[in-house]
């Protein structure tokens, strides 16, 4: 290792974990490498230049960053900070996204407008990376989407544009569970410019379920075709359930997490612009609790508890609720005293009136009218780490919202309120507080007649640590860690062969190639 935190004039080592696709395993491999190195006594930090996600978190100093970098920081055993995710894109309705720079919102823009910002953003990205490298021995950078999105390469700040600017050796991870992993790896490399290819030093196969001996001939052929080794084959592992950032990692409507046969049934409404969905992870980790993602009225009718989660587009998702008939199901539950919980955007939907000239520009809109609350959207975003008490238990959470709720009735509940069996709060992360989670679920079970009872003292923090340890074990047992250390210390080997055809000539000089989907640059 060439770095050393606190050593003047020394720069920490770094590498880029790129992927053949979204959800190939970049986030978990980055976290696994962080946990592995931290166990070796290395001061390591994660980094993602540009993250497109609706799953975010608030740092101790009030900055908003992607939740995956928070998970990776936990794997590294350090406190998350804004430098770890300098650019966060939060997609909303109308193919527009909020641009969060160094933890603070700076713009609301569409794809073309965002492209004009990238020159400024690259400067911020490189400054953040340099800052981390000055303070840590190693920085493990996660790419975004695929580095072979040739229509986006000219202004790329998250994949090979970052690698070229910062001199990062790069490994490419592919998801074998999707099929076609050899074609994806070879094709990704073959669509990169020669100078980009010179930084790509190897591949990692992720989510392998079969016999390694059957895979070996393909690994040898890939090396022969590309001149680059497969540095590891990571086996499929159930039960990781780590913080996801990509919508591809979200459960589909009807899918159940937790204990499918559990006596306490939770229906989480699968909103189109669902955000901060990690609020549900701690519920699913509680023994005897089944969390089903729901988009039909009958799913809500059958549940003991319905959770309306956060959303990036409150008014748009409220309209979706009404079109699906879910508003009537929620009203029936409230009238019969069956529990409903709204979190952040979900809480706003439960209000009597919503006035939004900021997020949707819709003006005054009728809410569901299940809580005595009015909501008015403010231009400034509220970011915080509140602390309180509920059910006699200490609660710590975090809040990220433009909507300001004014309560004029009911009973206080975590800076929100309760009316009958309907609760609302702006606080995310409340269920990660073990005592509060069990007390709240015990109340739900009593109200619905469910036989569920807490089984022991489950620590969600300990559950998450075990999952991160499992990632570190995967890296230690299935990745060539010697080759990994060599890449960190020495960079990519010299003389790596060029694999034709390379990027199209137009990619570096023009941007007339159109994307097949309305993204704001590389997806996470």
Residues identified as active-site: 344, 428
β-pairing, 416-419 vs 422-425, is: antiparallel
The upper half-sphere exposure of residue 124, i.e. CA atoms within 13 Å in the direction of its Cβ, equals 21
| Backbone phi, psi, residue 115, to 5° | -55, -35
d(CA 446, CA 420): 14
- Rg for the chain, CA atoms, rounded: 23
Residues 6+ apart with CB under 8 A from 291: 256, 257, 258, 266, 268, 280, 283, 284
Contact 90, 97 (CB under 8 A): yes
Q: Please report how the helices 181-190 and 212-226 are oriented relative to each other, as an axis angle in degrees rounded to 10.
A: 20
Please give the distance of CA 34 from its chain centroid, rounded to a whole number.
Answer: 17
DSSP-assigned letter for residue 291: E
Question: What kind and span of H or E run contains 416?
Answer: strand 416-419
DSSP-assigned letter for residue 221: H
Residues 6+ apart with CB under 8 A from 75: 31, 32, 34, 35, 38, 46, 468, 471, 472
| Backbone phi, psi, residue 35, to 5° | -65, -40
> Distance between the two ends of the chain, CA-based, in angstroms?
29
**CA angle at 147 for the pair 142 and 151, rounded to the nearest 5°:** 135
501 preceded by cis ω (within 30°)? Answer: yes
- Tokens 């019969």 belong to residue: 336
Query: Nearest CA to 371 among 300, 426, 317, 298?
Result: 426
> Hey, what are 517's tokens?
């989907």
Residues 6+ apart with CB under 8 A from 390: 413, 414, 430, 436, 439, 440
Burial class from Cβ neighbours inside 10 Å (0-12, 13-18, 19+) for residue 317 reads buried
């Amino acid at each position: 290792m060439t770095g050393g935190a606190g050593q003047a004039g020394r720069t920490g080592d770094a590498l880029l974990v790129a992927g053949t696709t979204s959800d190939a395993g970049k986030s978990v491999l980055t976290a696994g490498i962080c946990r592995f190195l931290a166990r070796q006594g290395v001061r390591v930090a994660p980094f993602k230049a540009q993250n497109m996600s609706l799953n975010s978190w608030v740092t101790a100093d009030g900055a908003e960053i992607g939740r995956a970098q928070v998970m990776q920081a936990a794997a590294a055993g350090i406190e998350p900070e804004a430098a770890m995710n300098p650019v966060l894109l939060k997609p909303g309705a109308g193919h527009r996204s909020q641009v969060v720079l160094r933890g603070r919102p700076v713009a609301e823009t569409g794809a073309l407008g965002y492209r004009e910002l990238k020159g400024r953003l690259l400067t911020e990205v490189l400054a953040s990376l340099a800052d981390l490298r000055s303070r840590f021995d190693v920085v493990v950078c996660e790419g975004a989407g695929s580095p072979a999105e040739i229509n986006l390469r000219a202004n790329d700040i998250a994949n090979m544009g970052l690698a070229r600017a910062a001199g990062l050796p790069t490994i490419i991870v592919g998801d074998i569970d999707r099929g076609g992993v050899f074609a994806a790896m070879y094709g990704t490399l073959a669509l990169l410019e020669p100078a980009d290819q010179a930084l790509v030093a190897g591949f990692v196969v992720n989510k392998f379920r079969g016999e390694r001996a059957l895979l070996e001939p393909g690994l040898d052929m890939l090396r022969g075709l590309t001149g680059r080794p497969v540095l590891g084959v990571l086996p499929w592992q159930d039960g990781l359930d780590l913080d996801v950032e990509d919508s591809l990692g979200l459960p589909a409507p009807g899918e159940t997490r937790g204990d499918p046969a559990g006596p306490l049934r939770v229906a989480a409404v699968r909103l189109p612009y669902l955000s901060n969905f990690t609020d549900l992870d701690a519920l699913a980790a509680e023994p005897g609790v089944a969390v089903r993602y729901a988009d039909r009225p009958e799913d809500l009718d059958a549940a003991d508890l319905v959770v309306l989660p956060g959303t990036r587009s409150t008014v748009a998702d409220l309209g979706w609720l009404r079109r699906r008939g879910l508003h009537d199901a929620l009203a029936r539950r409230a009238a019969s005293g069956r529990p409903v919980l709204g979190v952040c955007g979900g809480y706003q939907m439960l209000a009597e009136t919503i006035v939004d000239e900021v997020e949707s520009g819709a003006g005054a809109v009728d809410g569901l009218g299940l809580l005595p609350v009015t909501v008015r959207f403010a231009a400034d975003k509220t970011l915080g780490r509140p602390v309180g008490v509920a059910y006699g238990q200490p609660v710590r959470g975090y809040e990220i919202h433009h909507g300001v709720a004014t309560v004029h009735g009911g009973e206080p509940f975590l800076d929100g309120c309760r009316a009958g069996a309907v609760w609302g709060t702006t606080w995310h992360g409340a269920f990660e507080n073990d005592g509060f989670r069990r007390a709240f679920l015990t109340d739900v079970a009593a109200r619905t007649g469910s036989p569920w009872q807490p089984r022991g003292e489950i620590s969600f923090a300990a559950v998450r640590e075990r999952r991160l340890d499992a990632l570190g074990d995967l890296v230690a047992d299935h990745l060539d860690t010697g080759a990994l250390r060599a890449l960190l210390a020495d960079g990519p080997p010299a003389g790596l062969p060029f694999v034709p055809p390379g990027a199209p000539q137009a990619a570096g000089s023009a941007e007339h190639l159109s994307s097949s989907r309305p993204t704001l640059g590389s997806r996470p």
